[in-house]
A and B are shown apart, each in its own frame.
Chain A
C-alpha cells in the first residue's frame, strides 16, 4: 500500500497489534507453563502447583527419562520410524497414482478417479473401519497399525497432486521422453517426481505431521506397549498415573522404591513430543500454511 496513512488506518493497525499480541501470548502461555513445569522440582509442583516461574529448578524428570531410555527411546523411535516410513510410502503412492490418473487417454481413468474422490464424501464410519482392520486385515499390535489405517493415502491428496501434475508439468516433456522410448515408470521417476517437488513437499509435510501427531490408530489397534508411539505413551501416562512405575525398566522390584517424579516426567515427555515440531515448523512454515490453505479450501 502506498501513500500517507490516515489516522483511522493507524488506529486500526494499533488495535491489530494489541489483539495479535494478546492472541500470541495466549497461544504461547500453555507451552511456557509446560516447559517450566518440566524443570520444576517434583515436591515444589505438588506443593505450589504448576508454575510459570519455578521456584526450585530441577532436571530430575529429564534424568529419569534418560534412565528409562530403553522404554522412552523405543517409543520415540517408533514415532520417528512411522513418520519417516509412512510419509515416504505415502508420497510414493500418492505421486504414482496421481501420475497414472493424469495420463490423458488411459481407459477407465475417469471412473477410477471418481471412485477415489467418492471416498472423501462417503465413509463406513469408525466401527466398520475397526472391524476391517481387525477381522479382515488384522493389523493389531504390528507396525502396520500405526502406518496404514487412514493416514497412508487419501482422496484429497490424490486430487491435489493429480491437479498439479496435469496443470503444472508440461505434457511435451512426457511426450518427448515417450518418443525417446522411455516407459511410463521411467517417465514417472525421471520427470514427474522431480518436477512435482513443490506439491509433494506440502503434501509430505502435512502427512508427516499427521503421523507424528497420531494417537487414534494406536488407541484402537495397539495394546502391546512394545508398539507404543511417543504420543500413545503420553496418552497412557496421562490416563494412568502408575503406568511409568509398572513399565519401568529399572529392575522390576526396585521400581517401586525409586521415587519417580511422575508429574514432572509427564511434562518432560510432552516437551520431547513438541520440540521436533517447534524446531522444524519455522523452516517449513510456508509449505505448512500453503498446504493447510488448499486443504481447507477444498477439503
Chain B
C-alpha cells in the first residue's frame, strides 16, 4: 500500500523535477564539478593524460609550495590585513551607526546614508582608478597639489612599500564603511523605544543608554561579523589587493595575498599545480575555521552561534 502511494507521488512530481533540472544543472557545473577539481592539487601534472587524469602524488604539491619559501609573506599579508580589517570593523562602523542613530533630521539622515553607501556600489576597477587619481606619481592630486607645492618633492606611491598597508586599509574602510554602518544600524532600529523610556525614568543619561542598551543589543551582530571574518581569514578581496596596487611587483611584499598569488601563478606563470595547492589549502583551512569558530561561539554563548 505504502509503496503504491509513493509511486503515485513520484508521477505527480515529474513536472516539479523537470522544473528543478536547470537550477540543479547549474549547481553541478558551477559548484560540484569544481569540488572534484580539488583533486588537481594532489596530482602530478601530466599533459599527455590531461589535467583531470594525471596520476596522484599525495601531498607533494603542498610540500613544494610551502618549501619554496615565498608563501610566508603571502600568508602573513593575508592574515594580518584580515586581522586589522576585523578589528576596525568591530569598532568604526559600530561607532558610526550609534552616532548616526542619534541624528534626528530625517531628510539629512537619508542623504548621509545614500552618500556613504555609494562607494560600496563601485567595482574595484573603478576604485583603482579613483585611487590612482590621488596617488599617481606625475599627475596624482596628492603629489601635484599637496606635496609638490608644500615640500617641493614627490612620492612614487606605486614604488614605495611602506605606504601600502595604510592605503589598502583606508581604501577597504572607504568602500565598506557605509555598508557595515547600515548593517549595525538595522540592529539599532530594532530596539524598542520602551527600553529608552524605561532608562530615562530611571535617570539614565544618553551615554549610559548607549553603554547599557545599544551596545548589548549590538553584541550578537558584532560577534557574528567577527565569526564570519575569522572564517574568511585566509581569504582576501582579490579586487582590493590586485586592482588597487595595480598588480605592481615592487609592492608584492606588502600587498600580495593568497588570492593574488593564486591568480598570478595560474594566469601569468601557468603554474596550475602550485596555484591549485594554494587555493585548496585556503579552502580547506577556511572551511575548518568556519566550523571551529562556530563551535567555540556555541560553547561561550549558544545564542550567538550561526548553526
Contacts and interface: CB of A to CB of B under 8 A. Distances in A.
Nearest to A290: B186
A69 interface: no
A209 B121 contact: yes
B75 interface: no
Interface residues of A, number: 103
Contacts of B205: 6, 8
Tell me whether chain B's interface is mostly helix, strand or loop, or mixed. helix
B144 A49 contact: yes
Interface in A171-227: 183-185, 188, 209, 212-216, 219-220
Count class of interface residues, chain B: 35 or more
A238 B132 contact: yes
B307 to A, nearest CB: 9
B27 A116 contact: yes
B130 A34 contact: yes
Contacts of B207: 8, 12
Contacts of B119: 27, 30
Contacts of B104: 1, 5, 13
B147 to A, nearest CB: 10
Given A122-B283, A152-B26, A213-B123, A49 B102 contact: no
Interface string B84-127: 00000000000010011111100010011111111111111110
B206 A220 contact: no
Nearest to B197: A2
Contacts of A130: 266
A33 B129 CA distance: 11
B164 interface: no
A92 to B, nearest CB: 9
B287 interface: yes
A109 B62 CA distance: 38
B38 A125 contact: yes
A188 B20 CA distance: 12
B16 interface: yes
A158 interface: yes
Interface string B60-101: 000000000000000000000000000000000000100111
Most chain A CB within a 10 A radius of its CB, from B10, B126, B138, B225? B126
A107 to B, nearest CB: 6
Given A17-B103, A148-B26, 19 more contacts: A6-B205, A8-B207, A15-B102, A30-B119, A33-B130, A93-B23, A93-B26, A96-B23, A122-B287, A124-B34, A127-B276, A128-B276, A132-B33, A150-B30, A184-B16, A215-B124, A235-B125, A270-B130, A277-B121
A-B CB proximity, top 10 nearest: A49-B144, A128-B37, A124-B34, A125-B279, A97-B23, A213-B123, A16-B99, A128-B34, A30-B130, A119-B31
